[in-house]
Amino acid sequence: MAQVIFSTWGGDVVDNRNVSGEPKAVSYRLPVAFDGERPLRAFMGWDGIILFDKYVDVPAMTAEYMKRVQTLYCCGRCTPGKKGTKVLMDLFQKVLERKASEADLDTVGDLAELLKNCKCTLCQSATVPVFDAVKHYRSDFMAYINSACGPNAEPAKYIHKITAPCMDKCPAHIDIPKYVEELRNYQYGEALATIRENMPLPSVCGRVCPHPCETACRRKNVDDSINIMVLKRTASDYERLHNLTPPMVPKAKKNKTVAIVGAGPAGLAAAYYLALEGYQCTIYEALPEGFGGGMIAVGIPAYRMPRTILQRDIDIIQSLGVEIIYDCRVGKDISLPELKQKYNAVFLAPGAHRSKPMGVEGEDKGYKGFLSGGIDFLREAYMGRPTGMGKKVCVVGGGNTAIDCVRVALREGAEESILLYRRSRKEMPADSWEVDGADEEGVRFEFQVLPTRIIVDDKEQVTGVECVRMAMGEPDASGRRRPEPVAGSEFVVECDTVIPAIGQDPDLGFIPPDMGIDITKWNTVVTKFLPLKDAAGKDLKDGMGNMLSRSLITDCDGVFAGGDAEIGPLTVVACVGNAHRAALVIQRWLEEGKAYLSEQDIFDDLLTYLGVYDKNEKVAWLDSVNRAGQKEIHGRERAAKGNYREVELGFSDSTAQTEADRCLRCYRMAMVAV
């Protein structure tokens, strides 16, 4: 087990350097070995220092940390940051060169206080570990100053990572503070270029992203989070509305080719980043032409994501040389072994288009009015096909797909649209603003009810759903309170259509069993991962129980998997982040003959696991400024039959600039010694 030798993380000093007897036990959300092999010797960041190895050269690490902050990331737009970090960098370099004095060390505290007046938080947060190092390892600094040999330390390799609470929480790790500041300066093209470094579907993600970044916005600690998602839309809408040509130019064509299964967000993102590097990518999509985008096209309603705007993002990706072959189902029209033989690499990103069964009596009887699933219903509606829906529709579920179904049912002509959910409204996994939208449009909600039986007439036409009331019991394994049936509370909800929308799975039937590609019990593709473990010997996992630092390569050489197929149903931004990593891994495979994660890939995962945002941090700010909300069409008429016009209308330029001005530019830098 890795023992913490010394730490000031979070302001809590743990000093086991000269402890007699049992050292103080403390653990942090960090792995014992950075990449599963090289021991993690020390961590230095915005909230202090953590040492696991007593032979770490703290003065050398401090000097390198401040050097990287000053030379790589200090923007130079404020005097305290520009001058203060330079003085600190020079001071620590003088220490290593044995040209400093003890009096120089005494100035570090004053400089740290001065840097609290910086324009942003990068420079001021960087002084926290530096000040802690000088304060608690002063004798090591003095050993450099007074001795020819310095402290008894061993050299280390240093790896650093720039981040921010919002960047860390974004699955695609978009540089949010940078593009927000560019929008504040009316630099729309620059802002969009920053977004596209990690998000090739900016119009999409500016409309339908669940914006987890906003849950980690430090502005929340003052008043309310920045409206990050709509600012992203502002940048992409500006390019479209002004008929500007996207500036991306791919590198010279390479002689390696990549096949991609699925033109959803993961497949499109992987193709985008590989095409920019010069690789010829061909996407095989089962849906017909005009429905590129996978679940974005047939799983997200047009009133949230207009088809023409989605198609523009796809057209831009195709303009880089990406080919999309529509109406071609892998496993039927072409086999996976054929793709592997024809291309140098294959990326599996088929999406999760198969609805899960509801598990109630009568659902497998083929009753008229019992539809196969929410995803199927939405797909048929968006493609203009008969949905099989009647006039009184019941949707079962509590996620975004269920909410989309009840709202689309109204637009498809339902006289009444009812949502049945077994928990409370507060516990719905659907985004709260989507639930509010359904409420405004007249959807009827039945909370804490569980369907138990489908009721039909003598012609086997659905006439209702028998349900039982639920009461909240003890928390389950996930920490959520478990709903339990209330005896004798049975009742019937009258309807002529039932749509189960309780989840979906990838359809991986196209993968032959003899290809060496394993499938989990959750119907996802098994990919390799680094053996990262904590001090107790436990595997490091994310909040969903998935292993950290997955390489996205399968056990079949040259075949990779990502998006819904690799980890289960994901959001658009999570699919894009996952696929961007896959593109980088595939590129290494094509160029070097081996697939692996870079140090930056691993560091991203470690910071997400450690956590960058502190909801309890006291953030000082002069004025509280209300968060800007985008314009929106209100009223039940927006859900009239056939009305799929966009409901949310985005920001005006002046509103976007005012909202961007609320950003606190919360950069941090972390560095490890290995």
Structural domains in the chain plus CATH codes: 6-163 (1.20.1440.230), 167-247+613-660 (1.10.1060), 257-353+515-539+550-592 (3.50.50.60), 355-504 (3.50.50.60)
The answer to whether 524 and 566 have CB atoms below 8 angstroms apart is yes
Q: What is the pLDDT of residue 48?
A: 96
Q: What is the pLDDT at residue 570? A: 83
Stated length of the chain: 674
Calpha distance 554→191 (Å, rounded): 36
Mean pLDDT for the stretch of residues 184-206:
96
Q: What is the DSSP letter of 523?
A: S
All residues at 6 or more sequence positions from 70 whose CB lies less than 8 Å from its CB, including other chains: 85, 86, 88, 89
- The pLDDT value recorded for residue 1 is 41
Mean pLDDT of 15-26: 82
CB atoms within 10 A of CB 246: 18
| Measured distance CA(667)–CA(74) in Å, rounded | 10
d(CA 37, CA 654): 51
Confidence of residue 396 (pLDDT cuts 50, 70, 90): very high
Q: Tell me what the mean pLDDT of segment 550-561 comes to.
A: 91
Q: Are 642 and 411 in contact (CB under 8 A)?
A: yes
pLDDT one-digit tens code per residue, 221-248: 999 999 999 999 999 999 999 999 999 9
- The answer, yes or no, to whether residue 314 has pLDDT greater than 50, is yes
| Range 13-24 average pLDDT | 84
Give the whole-angstrom CA distance, residue 534 versus residue 531. 10
pLDDT tens digit sequence for 118-156: 778 888 899 999 999 999 999 999 999 988 676 778 889
251 Cα distance to chain centroid: 28
Within a 10 A sphere around the Cβ of 562, how many other Cβ atoms?
Answer: 32
Q: Is the pLDDT of residue 46 over 70?
A: yes
Rounded average pLDDT over 294-299: 87
- Written as six digits, the tokens of 150 are 């310095």
Task: Say whether pLDDT at 624 is over 50.
Answer: yes
Task: Give the residue carrying structure tokens 């998997």.
Answer: 561
Percent of all residues in the chain with a pLDDT value above 90, rounded to a whole number: 64
- HEC letters along 580-628: HHHHHHHHHHHHHCCCCCCHHHHHHHHHHHHCCCCCCCCCCCCCCCCCC
Q: What is the pLDDT of residue 543?
A: 64
> CA angle, corner 583, sides to 292 and 252, nearest 5?
90
Average pLDDT over residues 317-329: 96
What is the enclosing helix (H) or strand (E) of 104?
helix 102-106
Q: Which residues lie below 8 Å from residue 525, measured CB to CB, with a gap of 6+?
A: 348, 508, 511, 517, 518, 519, 554, 561, 565, 566
Q: What is the pLDDT of residue 545?
A: 65
For residue 89, give the DSSP letter: H
Residues 33-42 have a mean pLDDT of 92
- What pTM was computed for the model? 0.91
Written as six digits, the tokens of 458 are 């003598």
Residue-wise pLDDT tens digits, 563-622: 888 888 788 999 999 999 999 999 999 999 999 999 999 999 999 989 999 999 988 776
The pLDDT of residue 267 is above 50:
yes
Cα–Cα distances in angstroms (integers) from residue 398 to residues 195, 242, 381, 448, 543, in the given order: 31, 39, 20, 11, 20
Per-residue model confidence (pLDDT) at position 278: 97
